[in-house]
């Protein structure tokens, strides 16, 4: 259930053939603003397909048997895993079907189609949208003989996503730096599980913090309770990619082993972070990709005198939505 360091490195050796090395930016203005000793931002928003998701998706597809790869896969996603899986499938010649909620951003569903995926959209009404989409993915897998993949609750997805952490560790070391704190956005937990394991194995003194939208902080609440729980269904967040209501079992095993803690941020704080990222860092971040930065800027974590790494996870946002959110900040 919990990938070893060797497992993470094997996955990264493979995925690095197909993914970009995203930069590590030192944000001196943010250090001065927050009282941190140093602030580094790793913009996975600049990754191929616009987010970190290509890392886990590519590795998971590489783990398929030849027969499974020939028949194709199906998964569900609100957007970024859809794009990552579609792009990985296109690169590897594996057919991909994605189930997406009808209210997922059109830019994300269009992008998944652009990478050659078949997109099936679901109406969810008053039900949790991920539950409806998962049910539909299961139906399609059974009817069409496809291998069903989970967007985050899979040890191999966790191993693939760890590449972002391994890469950041190498980049920090090259600068003679180390992170006291890592802030990472969380939906179902695939990324933070991989990142937390990378730091757990190679920089155990680093504190890794899960950042979620208010009302969708299933990971944080579960960590506080000591067991996996589900948050009640409530109003949506602008962080459309982080609206999972409970963490996956595989990510949960990794984050508990690594000693992760959690915080939640408001939509208003996320909008302010998007604006600052654009003005100070010259980065276009989607709301989900700006949540970790929001935790830093909103004082959700004590960072005085600390070196902080912020993982900006995605930049898949339409221009109208981006300008609207930034104008509201």
Q: Which two tokens stand for residue 64?
A: 């398929």
Rounded CA-CA distance 230/246 in Å is 5
pLDDT at 232: 92
Output the pLDDT for position 250: 96
Contact 60, 163 (CB under 8 A): no
How far, CA to CA in Å, does 295 sit from each of 127, 144, 181, 209?
Answer: 29, 43, 12, 10
* Co-location of 236 and 124 in the same domain: no
Share of the chain above pLDDT 70, in %: 100
- What angle do helix axes 80-92 and 53-62 make, rounded to 10 degrees? 40
Q: Taking a C-beta distance cutoff of 8 angstroms, is the pair 220, 263 a contact?
A: yes
pLDDT in tens, 155-204: 999 999 999 999 999 999 999 999 999 999 999 999 999 999 999 999 99
Structure tokens at 13: 């050796």
Q: Are residues 70 and 45 in the same domain?
A: no
- Residue 106: its pLDDT value, please? 86
Phi, psi of 42 (to 5 degrees): -105, 105
CA within 13 Å, CB half, 74? 23
Residues 6 or more apart in contact with residue 38 via CB below 8 angstroms: 26, 31, 177, 307, 308
Instruction: Report the 10 Å Cβ neighbour count for 88.
Output: 29
Query: Is the model's pLDDT at 128 over the cut of 90?
Result: no
Domain boundary residue, one of 155, 174, 196? 155
- 22 with 151, same domain: the answer is no
Q: Which has more pLDDT, 128 or 254?
A: 254
Provide, rounded to the nearest whole percent, the portion of the chain with pLDDT above 90.
86
- Residues 215-270: tens digit of each pLDDT: 999 999 999 999 999 999 889 999 988 998 899 999 999 999 999 999 999 999 99
Q: Which of 134, 155, 176 is the last residue of a domain?
A: 155
Q: Is 180 exposed, middle or buried (0-12, 13-18, 19+ CB in 10 A)?
A: middle
Residue 151, pLDDT > 80, answer: yes
- Distance between CA atoms of residues 51 and 83, nearest Å: 9
Domain count, the chain: 2
pTM strictly above 0.85 = yes
Q: Identify the domain boundary among 155, 173, 190.
A: 155
Residues 214 and 269 in one domain: yes
Residues in the chain: 329
Residue 119 and residue 33 share a domain: no
State residue 195's pLDDT score: 98
Q: What is the pLDDT of residues 56-73, one digit of tens each?
A: 999 999 999 999 999 999
CB-count burial class (<10 Å; 0-12, 13-18, 19+) for 6? exposed
Q: Which residue segment(s) compose the domain that 137 sits in?
A: 53-155
Answer yes or no: are the C-beta atoms of 316 and 108 closer than 8 Å.
Answer: yes
Mean pLDDT of 5-13: 98
Q: Are residues 214 and 289 in the same domain?
A: yes
Q: Which of 63, 64, 44 is nearest to 54 (CA)?
A: 44
pLDDT of residue 5: 98
User: 186 and 239 share a domain?
Assistant: yes
pLDDT at 108: 85
For residue 70, the model assigns a pLDDT of 97
Same-domain check for residues 200 and 253: yes
pLDDT per position as a tens digit, 271-280: 999 999 999 9
Statement: residue 129 has pLDDT above 90: no
The pLDDT score that the predictor gives to residue 15 is: 96
Q: What string of DSSP letters covers 208-232?
A: EEEEEETT--HHHHHHHHTS---PP
Q: Same structural domain for residues 166 and 106?
A: no
CATH of the domain at 259: 3.40.50.1100
Q: Across-strand partners of 307? A: 38
306 and 208: one domain? yes
Together in a domain, 321 and 258:
yes
Assess whether 204 and 178 both reside in one domain.
yes
């Amino acid at each position: 259930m919990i990938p070893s360091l060797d497992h993470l490195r094997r996955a990264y050796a493979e995925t690095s053939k197909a993914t970009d090395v995203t930069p590590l930016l030192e944000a001196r203005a943010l250090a001065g603003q927050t009282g941190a000793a140093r602030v580094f931002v790793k913009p996975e928003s600049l990754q191929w397909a616009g987010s970190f998701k290509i890392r886990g998706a590519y590795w998971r597809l590489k783990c398929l048997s030849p027969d499974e790869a020939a028949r194709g896969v199906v998964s569900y996603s609100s957007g970024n895993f859809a794009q990552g899986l579609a792009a990985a499938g296109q690169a590897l010649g594996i057919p991909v079907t994605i189930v997406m909620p009808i209210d997922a951003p059109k830019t994300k569903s269009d992008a998944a189609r652009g990478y050659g995926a078949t997109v099936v959209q679901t109406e969810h009404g008053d039900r949790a949208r991920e539950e409806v989409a998962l049910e539909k993915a299961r139906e399609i897998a059974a009817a069409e003989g496809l291998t069903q993949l989970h967007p985050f609750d899979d040890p191999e997805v966790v191993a693939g996503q760890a590449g972002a952490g391994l890469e950041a560790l190498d980049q920090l070391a090259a600068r003679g730096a180390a992170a006291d704190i890592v802030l990472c956005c969380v939906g179902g937990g695939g990324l933070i599980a991989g990142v937390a394991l990378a730091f757990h194995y190679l920089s155990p003194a680093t504190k890794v913090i899960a950042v979620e939208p208010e009302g969708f902080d299933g990971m944080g609440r579960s960590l506080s309770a000591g067991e996996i729980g589900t948050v009640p269904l409530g109003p949506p967040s602008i962080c459309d990619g982080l609206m999972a209501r409970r963490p996956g079992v595989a990510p949960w095993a990794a984050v508990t082993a690594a000693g992760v803690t959690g915080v939640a941020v408001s939509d208003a704080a996320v909008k302010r972070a998007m604006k600052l990222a654009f003005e100070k860092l010259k980065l276009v971040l989607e709301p989900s990709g700006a949540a970790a930065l929001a935790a830093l800027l909103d004082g959700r974590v004590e960072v005085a005198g600390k070196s902080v790494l912020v993982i900006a996870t995605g930049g898949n946002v339409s221009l109208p939505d981006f300008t609207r959110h930034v104008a509201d900040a």
